[in-house]
Structure 1
Amino acid sequence: MVHPWHDVPVDPSQIENALPVIIEIPAGSKNKYELDKDTGLLRLDRVLHSAVHYPANYGFIPRSYAEDGDPLDVLVLGQEPIDPLTIVYVRPLGVLRMIDAGRPDLKILAVSRDDPEFAHVRALEQVSPHRMAEISRFFIDYKVLEEKEVVVINPFQGREEALAAIRAALAAYEEAFGGR
C-alpha cells in the first residue's frame, strides 16, 4: 500500500509551481481528519467544537517534516471542496505562522495549479483581503470552545518565506527519515 506521507514523490525543482499536496480535509468541513502516521489512512481526529468550518481545502506536503512533528500543513484555495487523499498540485503563495500548544505551527497558503479561477494568482496580494482575514480568523477561533489557545502571528508572510519553510521541511524529512 502506498503511504501518502512517505511514498508520494516531491521534485524540489517543481515546488514553486507544481508542489504536490495530499488533501486531508475538504473546504467547508467541520470534520478534522488527520493522517494516521503508521497506516497512512485518515482518521477522524474530532468534529470542530466551534461554529466554524475549514475555509479552504487542507492537507500536507508529502515527504516534509515540520517543527510540530507532522508533515507541513497547506491550505489550498480553489472553487470546490476536494476529496480526502487526493493529490493536488499547487502554487505556494505565503505562510501563516502560529503557535499551537506552545509549538510553532506553520500553514502554507497555496492555490490549485489546475483551478481556472486561481490560474492567474501568483502572490498573496492577489487573494482578497477578506479571504485572508477569514483564514486568519478561522485559526484564532477554531479551538476556543476546546479551551485550547492558538496564537496567530499576523500578517501572512509572502511567497519567498513560504518557499523557505517548504525547503526546510523537505530537508528535515530527509534528515529524520532518509530515503525511507
Structure 2
Amino acid sequence: MSFIVEERGNPNTLSYRLFFKNADGKYISPFHDIPMYADESQNIFHMVVEVPRWTNAKMEIATKDPLNPIKQDVKKGNLRYVANVFPHKGYIWNYGAIPQTWEDPGHKDGDTGCCGDNDPIDVCEIGTKVCSRGEVIKVKVLGVLAMIDEGETDWKVMAINVEDPEAKNFNNVSDIQRLKPGYLEATVDWFRRYKVPDGKPENQFAFNGEFKDKDFAIETIKNTHDFWKALISQQTNAGGLNCKNTCVSGCDNPFSISMDEAKAVVDETSPCGPGEPIPCAVDAWFYYEK
C-alpha cells in the first residue's frame, strides 16, 4: 500500500496544504482513510510523518478541515514554530501520527486521570533516516510516554521505521535505553520544556515520566482506534472534527464523499507556488535553567 502527496498553496505561509492520494490517485484523508495497521499480524502500524527530524515548523494533520491535509499550526495569526530549547534543535525524532486513532476528549483515562487531546495519537520515530513531510511509513511500536498537556492526556508513542537498518535490534522500550542511551531522557526533557519559550509552564507526565513498554503502548493504540471507530460511525459527537473520507467502507459510514467531491475540496485551495523564507528567529537558541 503506497501513498503520494500533493502540495497546494505556498510553503511557509498560511495557505500551504499537503493533500494525500492513494496508489489509485484517489484523494484520501490521512486521518481516516489510511489504515491503522500496515500488518496487523505483526503489530506493524502506519505512521503519517508530519514533522521531519531537526525541523521546527509545527505541521499537523488538520483534523477540522475537509480531507484533513497537513498544514502548519497557527498561533495568534502567525505560523507556529517550536523553539530550540538548548540543547535541542527542532524536533529530535521524525514526528507524526497513527491514522484511524483518536484521543477522545470525552473519555477520562483510568491511568492518567485526564481526558484525551482530541487528536490522533502521536508518534516519535527514532530511526536513522530523516523522513519527508507527508511520508507514510511502517513502524514497529516500542513503548509510550504519557504526557499531560494543559490537563489533557497526550500519548507519545515511541517507534522505529521497519525499514531502518537497525530496526531488528529494537523490540521494546528497553532497547532504546540500551542502544541509544540518553534518548529517552532527552525525549522527556524535550516534551517537558518545549512550550516554556511561549510563556507556558513545563508539561507534566503520568507514571512519573517513565515510559511504558511495548504491550502497554499497543493496547493504548488499540483503545484510541476504538475511539476513532465510534467517531467515524457517529456513536460519538465529532464536535468540530471533519470526518469526511473517501475509503472507509461499510453502511455505517455517514461521512463518505465521492471522488468528485474530494477533488472539489482540493480545487478550492490555491495551486502550489513559491514559498516564503523561514524567519531567521526560528534558528535562535532558547536557554533557561531547569
Could you give the per-residue CA deviations for residues 83-105 of structure 1, whole angstroms, max 9, x where no partner exists? 11111101111110011011111
From the superposition, tell whether residues 101 and 79 of structure 1 become closer, same or farther in structure 2 (CA, over 3 Å): same
Partner Cα separation in structure 1 for residue 41 and residue 173 of structure 2: 17
Q: Which runs of 5+ in 2 are unaligned?
A: 1-26, 74-79, 104-115, 234-252, 256-290
> Would you say 1:137 and 2:189 are equivalent positions?
yes
Match of 1:151 in 2: 204
Superposition CA RMSD, Å: 1.7
Match of 2:72 in 1: 44
What is the aligned-residue identity percentage? 27
Q: Which runs of 5+ in 1 are unaligned?
A: none
SS in 2 for 1:176: helix
SS in 1 for 2:71: strand
1:12, distance to aligned residue in structure 2 (A):
8.6
Could you give the per-residue CA deviations for residues 44-74 of structure 1, whole angstroms, max 9, x where no partner exists? 1211134342111011111100121100111
Match of 1:35 in 2: 61
1:13, distance to aligned residue in structure 2 (A):
6.3
More strand by share: 1
Partner Cα separation in structure 2 for residue 133 and residue 17 of structure 1: 26
Q: Any residues of structure 2 matched to 1:49-128 within 5 Å, and which?
A: 49-51=83-85, 52=88, 53-66=90-103, 67-127=116-176, 128=180
SS in 2 for 1:64: coil
Give the number of equivalent residue pairs.
180
**Does the 8 Å CA contact 1:26/1:54 hold for their aligned counterparts?**
yes
> Would you say 1:172 and 2:227 are equivalent positions?
yes
**Does the 8 Å CA contact 2:129/2:164 hold for their aligned counterparts?**
no
SS in 2 for 1:75: strand
1:152, distance to aligned residue in structure 2 (A):
2.8
**Does the 8 Å CA contact 2:51/2:59 hold for their aligned counterparts?**
yes
Partner Cα separation in structure 2 for residue 101 and residue 17 of structure 1: 31
From the superposition, tell whether residues 16 and 73 of structure 1 become closer, same or farther in structure 2 (CA, over 3 Å): farther
1:80, distance to aligned residue in structure 2 (A):
1.8
SS in 2 for 1:116: coil
1:129, distance to aligned residue in structure 2 (A):
3.1
**Does the 8 Å CA contact 1:50/1:141 hold for their aligned counterparts?**
no
Match of 2:283 in 1: none
> What residue identity is the alignment partner of 1:19?
F
Could you give the per-residue CA deviations for residues 152-176 of structure 1, whole angstroms, max 9, x where no partner exists? 3311111111011100000000011
**Does the 8 Å CA contact 2:172/2:214 hold for their aligned counterparts?**
yes
Q: Which structure has the bigger radius of gyration?
A: 2
> Would you say 1:26 and 2:75 are equivalent positions?
no
Query: Segments of 4+ in structure 1 off by > 6 A?
Result: none
TM-score by length of 1: 0.93
Partner Cα separation in structure 2 for residue 131 and residue 47 of structure 1: 22
Partner Cα separation in structure 1 for residue 186 and residue 58 of structure 2: 18
